[in-house]
């Protein structure tokens, strides 16, 4: 008897998704609640768990196809043995997988099978193979290491992306494997064509997340009267405080002391002083918020995502750092929840971690402001009539000029600058 696998409820107002990847193939044993597929929605990737234990049967939907909530995407056969006439597996290649398949395989021992989320089964019985999350699978394909030889450090012994990267750095050449071969034709997400002079072009279908980001950014440009104002900030005091207390901070709170905690705290104070930057326009009304839900841009395998720190104005620097660290880790693992990405009254985006010197960030509607942070760079500045070298950072505030005047934008940045250059203000609420 076969059990249908249905697309789960994906969240408020979300009715469809794209089937990003099959994590299990026909004939493979699955446990109840084990992830068997990943879905890409407008905001995050969602794993589809197996409703029952059994053996993967027919894959009804191909990777890259759009599916609606409640639709049947696969079937699981009860029992311990594979079905005698299993439907051929749908081709299980992402753009990365295709690139690997096109490359000449390196000499290796018999390649171990792998999937997408867990740890290798010990012993030779059952022919079990580890399953990995989408981000971990991508890391495995890129580094070409054998996941069955990696000891997972994640929950329940699951392999994490960091485990894969450490294994690759350790030079486990003997564990390298070729990318999985295609099983059957499917709706291709990537194609390569040759140009007349021998050069090649590759066309890759945009993910649903990237399509949504593109649409929302363009809507923001078309709707808001966007303007960007700049300032710079001397990071000397914050860097000295961080250097002095980082070890004690990590020992006490279990998280590293970064710069984002200071900036989020300073931004909350500046938002209180200039409430229009924390407001939004709804129709012909202006909505002012007496709370600060700060959206922070973090990097995920499929692009930037923006989870929200709720009521950041009530949190300590340590609580902010813990929250951001948790967001970053789960963004890489693809386990952020949709509710964690909703709302937000103001956004902070740190392009400095990628080396950006200056930028004009785009606001995230219906928000009216976004703060862009950039790299810290030593520059000559004048202090008390003397030219000295200081670690400086450019700040950029993009805002909706329909709601925020230039005077308010500049006042916000100056308030933020004062708090960062004199962190004592954060303690005594000045």
Domain check: are 283 and 420 in the same one? yes
Least trusted range by pLDDT, from 82-86, 161-165, 395-399: 82-86
- Per-residue pLDDT at 338 exceeds 70: yes
- Per-residue pLDDT at 159 exceeds 90: no
The residue among 51, 73, 93 that closes a domain is: 93
State mean pLDDT over 328-340. Answer: 81
CATH of the domain at 367: 3.30.559.10
Between 95 and 376, where is the model more confident? 376
Nearest C-alpha neighbor of 161 from the set 137, 141, 136: 136
Structure tokens at 48: 């589809």
State mean pLDDT over 343-367. Answer: 90
Which pLDDT tens digit goes with each residue over 171-212?
644 443 444 433 434 444 556 665 667 788 888 877 776 777
In whole angstroms, give the CA distance from residue 28 to residue 24: 7
Residue 28 domain-assigned (yes or no): yes
Report which listed range, 89-98, 274-283, 302-311, is most confident: 274-283
Residue 200 domain-assigned (yes or no): no
The residue among 93, 125, 140 that closes a domain is: 93
In whole angstroms, give the CA distance from residue 139 to residue 152: 14
Domain around 71: 1-93
Hey, which residues are catalytic here? 401, 405
Q: Residue 82 has what pLDDT?
A: 43
Nearest C-alpha neighbor of 233 from the set 30, 386, 377: 377
Residue 222 domain-assigned (yes or no): yes
Percent of the chain with pLDDT over 90: 35
Q: Residue 191 has what pLDDT?
A: 60
Residue pair 305/331 in contact by the 8 Å Cβ criterion: yes
Domain check: are 87 and 221 in the same one? no
Q: Residue 58 has what pLDDT?
A: 84
Nearest C-alpha neighbor of 116 from the set 51, 50, 37, 220: 37
Domain check: are 88 and 213 in the same one? no
Which pLDDT tens digit goes with each residue over 84-117?
444 444 444 444 444 444 444 443 333 333 333 3
Which pLDDT tens digit goes with each residue over 11-59?
656 777 888 778 888 888 888 888 888 887 766 677 788 888 888 888 8
Does pTM top 0.75 for this prediction? no
Residue pair 187/65 in contact by the 8 Å Cβ criterion: yes
Residue 101 domain-assigned (yes or no): no
Structure tokens at 232: 């710079």
Split into its structural domains, the chain has a count of 2
Domain check: are 376 and 240 in the same one? yes
Least trusted range by pLDDT, from 117-131, 229-243, 258-272, 406-420: 117-131
Residue 154 domain-assigned (yes or no): no
Buried/exposed 273-311: b ≥16 CB within 10 Å, e otherwise: ebebbbbbbeeeeeeeeeebbbbbbbebbbeebbbbbee
Residue 20 domain-assigned (yes or no): yes
The residue among 93, 116, 144 that closes a domain is: 93
CATH of the domain at 43: 2.40.50.100
3-class SS letters over the chain:
CEEEEECCCCCCCCCEEEEEEECCCCCCEECCCCEEEEEECCCCEEEEECCCCEEEEEECCCCCCEEECCCEEEEEECCCCCCCCCCCCCCCCCHHHHHHHHCCCCCCCCCCCCCCECCCCCCCHHHCCCCECHHHHHHHHHHCCCHHHCCCCCHHHCCCHHHHHHHHHCCCHHHCCCCCCCCCCCCCCEEEEECCCCCEEEEECCCHHHHHHHHHHHHHHHHCCEEEEEEEEECHHHHHHHHHHHHHHHHHHCCCCCCHHHHHHHHHHHHHHCHHHHCEEECCEEECCCCCCEEECEEECCEEECCEECCHHHCCHHHHHHHHHHHHHHHHHCCCCHHHHCCCCEEEEEHHHHCCCCCCCCCCCCECEEEEECCCEEEEEEECCEEEEEEEEEEEEEEECCCCCHHHHHHHHHHHHHHHHCCHHHHHCC
Domain check: are 263 and 402 in the same one? yes
- Per-residue pLDDT at 317 exceeds 70: yes
State mean pLDDT over 58-77. Answer: 85
Residue 82 domain-assigned (yes or no): yes
């Amino acid at each position: 008897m076969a059990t249908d696998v249905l697309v789960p409820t994906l969240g408020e107002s979300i009715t469809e998704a794209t089937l990003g990847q099959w994590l299990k193939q026909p004939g493979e044993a699955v446990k109840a609640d084990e992830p068997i597929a990943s879905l890409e929605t407008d905001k995050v990737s969602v794993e589809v768990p197996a409703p029952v234990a059994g053996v993967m049967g027919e894959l009804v939907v191909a990777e890259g196809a759009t599916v609606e909530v409640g639709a049947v995407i696969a079937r699981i056969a009860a029992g311990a043995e594979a079905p005698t006439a299993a439907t051929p597996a749908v081709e299980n290649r992402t753009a990365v997988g295709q690139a690997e398949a096109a490359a000449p395989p390196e000499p290796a021992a018999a390649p171990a099978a792998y999937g997408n989320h867990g740890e290798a089964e010990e012993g030779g019985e059952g022919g079990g193979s580890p399953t990995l999350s989408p981000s971990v699978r991508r890391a495995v394909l890129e580094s070409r290491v054998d996941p069955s030889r990696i000891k997972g450090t994640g929950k329940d012994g699951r392999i994490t992306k960091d485990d894969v990267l450490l294994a690759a750095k350790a030079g486990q050449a003997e564990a390298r494997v070729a990318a999985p071969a295609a099983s059957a034709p499917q709706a291709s997400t990537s194609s390569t064509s040759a140009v007349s002079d021998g050069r090649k072009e590759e066309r890759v279908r945009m993910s649903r997340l990237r399509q949504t980001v593109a649409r929302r950014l363009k809507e923001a440009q078309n709707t808001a009267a966007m303007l960007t104002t700049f300032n710079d900030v001397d990071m000397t005091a914050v860097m000295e405080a961080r250097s002095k207390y980082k070890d004690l901070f990590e020992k006490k709170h279990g998280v590293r002391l970064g710069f984002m905690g200071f900036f989020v705290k300073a931004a909350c104070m500046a938002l209180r002083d200039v409430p229009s930057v924390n407001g939004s326009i709804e129709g012909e009304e202006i909505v002012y918020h007496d709370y600060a839900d700060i959206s922070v841009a973090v990097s995920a395998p499929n692009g930037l995502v923006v989870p929200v720190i709720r009521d950041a104005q009530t949190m300590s620097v340590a609580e902010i750092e813990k929250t951001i660290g948790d967001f970053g880790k789960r963004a890489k693992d693809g386990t952020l929840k949709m509710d964690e990405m909703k709302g937000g009254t103001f956004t902070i985006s740190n392009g400095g971690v990628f080396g950006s010197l200056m930028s004009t960030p785009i606001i995230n509607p219906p928000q009216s402001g976004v703060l862009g942070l950039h790299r810290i760079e030593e520059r000559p500045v004048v202090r008390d009539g003397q030219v000295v070298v200081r670690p400086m950072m450019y700040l950029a505030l993009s805002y909706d000029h329909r709601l925020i005047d230039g005077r308010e934008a500049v006042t916000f940045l100056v308030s933020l600058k004062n708090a960062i250059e004199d962190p004592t203000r954060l303690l005594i609420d000045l």
